[in-house]
Structure 1
Amino acid sequence: MKASLLLLAGLTVVASQAMASSEQAWSDLDKAVISSCIKASQLKDVKPAGTAAMFDDSVGYNALLLKGHYPQPFMKNKVGTELCLYQRKSKTAVVTEWDGATTPKK
């Protein structure tokens, strides 16, 4: 009886550790989100504007705001903001203009 309880306790500890993500895995995900979002951006000199928001696995996305400058000559190097959605399952990023989200309407 004691042996089976010890075995069960040991397996529980091993299983819980196997399901937890390591610090390295989180760091790698952050780097993948930033890299993919920057590649998908249409802005120049683009950088993350903070940290990514991670939605739970039922949604499967990370969201990241990007800041940069519009490359079109008529935009005269105006600062722009984009929202990037990174889908963890497919490891792909899509961006959309998001300037209005950071400037309150009066």
Structure 2
Amino acid sequence: MKPFCSLMVAYALFSGVAQASSSQAWNEHRQQMLKACLAASQFKNAHARGKPAEFDDQSGMSALLIEGVYPQKHMKQRTGTELCLYDRKQQRAYVSEWSPQTK
């Protein structure tokens, strides 16, 4: 009976640590993604718009909308949106202009 109790206590302790590190790992991932996406953006005053979309591990990608101000003079301080795709394995960000279709 004692080995069983010890095993249950150990499981409870380690499962709590695993959950905490998992949550911490996701927070670190989101910070890395945000940093990479903002660095890849061409906008001034770039910032995240909303929460990231996390794709499954098979694709290994996360997506985030970035909003900011176009730096070109002819754009006259207009704001725009970019879609950032973040490759979790390579830790690289790729951005493209994003303009949702409205009908």
| Match of residue 102 from structure 2 | 104
| Match of residue 22 from structure 2 | 22
Following superposition, the deviation at residue 34 of structure 1 comes to 0.3
In 2, Cα distance between the equivalents of 1:72 and 1:42?
A: 10
In 2, Cα distance between the equivalents of 1:35 and 1:46?
A: 11
Following superposition, the deviation at residue 97 of structure 1 comes to 0.1
In 2, Cα distance between the equivalents of 1:90 and 1:19?
A: 24
Q: Which runs of 5+ in 2 are unaligned?
A: none
In 1, Cα distance between the equivalents of 2:28 and 2:56?
A: 17
In 2, Cα distance between the equivalents of 1:92 and 1:36?
A: 7
Following superposition, the deviation at residue 104 of structure 1 comes to 1.1
| Match of residue 53 from structure 2 | 53
In 2, Cα distance between the equivalents of 1:58 and 1:23?
A: 21
Following superposition, the deviation at residue 19 of structure 1 comes to 7.3
Q: Deviations over 1:3-57 (max 9, x none)?
A: xxx6xx87xx59x959765221111001001000000001110000011110010
Normalising by the residue count of structure 2, what TM-score does the alignment of the two structures yield?
Answer: 0.80
| Match of residue 89 from structure 1 | 89
Query: Secondary structure of 2:51's partner?
Result: coil
Q: Which runs of 5+ in 1 are unaligned?
A: none
In 1, Cα distance between the equivalents of 2:55 and 2:22?
A: 18
- Could you list the runs of 4 or more consecutive aligned residues of structure 1 that deviate by over 3 angstroms after TM superposition? 16-21
| Match of residue 65 from structure 1 | 65
* Structure with greater proportional strand content: 2
| Match of residue 75 from structure 1 | 75
In 2, Cα distance between the equivalents of 1:89 and 1:97?
A: 23
After superposition, the CA RMSD in angstroms is 2.4
Following superposition, the deviation at residue 75 of structure 1 comes to 0.3
Residues paired across the two proteins, number: 98
Normalising by the residue count of structure 1, what TM-score does the alignment of the two structures yield?
Answer: 0.78
Q: Percent of aligned positions with the same letter in both sequences?
A: 41
